[in-house]
Amino acid sequence: MWLKLVIIALLLFIVFNLIRAGVVMLKAPDPSVKMSQFLGRRVLFSAIVLIIIFIALALGLIQQNPRPY
């Protein structure tokens, strides 16, 4: 259960960084704040989520859905 909560928290953080990048792109309040920082964090945490899911599947902590056919 804790693993799923961590994954959900990371996914929410990814969405938060996407929204922040959009706000910076639209408003550009300060030239020192770069949109690429938020997009880079988004890509980094997306990779971390994928690695966590692959490791959890390999260790048997989570189960895949059975094939629908």
pLDDT tens digits, residue range 11-50?
Answer: 999 999 989 888 888 887 666 677 788 888 899 999 999 9
Does any domain span residue 28? no
3-state helix, strand, coil in the chain (%, to 5): 75, 0, 25
Cβ atoms within 10 Å of 12's Cβ, excluding its own: 10
Does any domain span residue 53? yes
Which domain does 54 fall in, by range? 2-23+34-59
Does any domain span residue 64? no
Total domain count, the chain: 1
Tell me the CB-side half-sphere exposure of residue 31, using CA atoms within 13 A: 0
Does any domain span residue 13? yes
pLDDT tens digits, residue range 8-20?
Answer: 999 999 999 989 8
Does any domain span residue 69? no
The length of the chain is: 69
pTM for the structure as a whole: 0.77
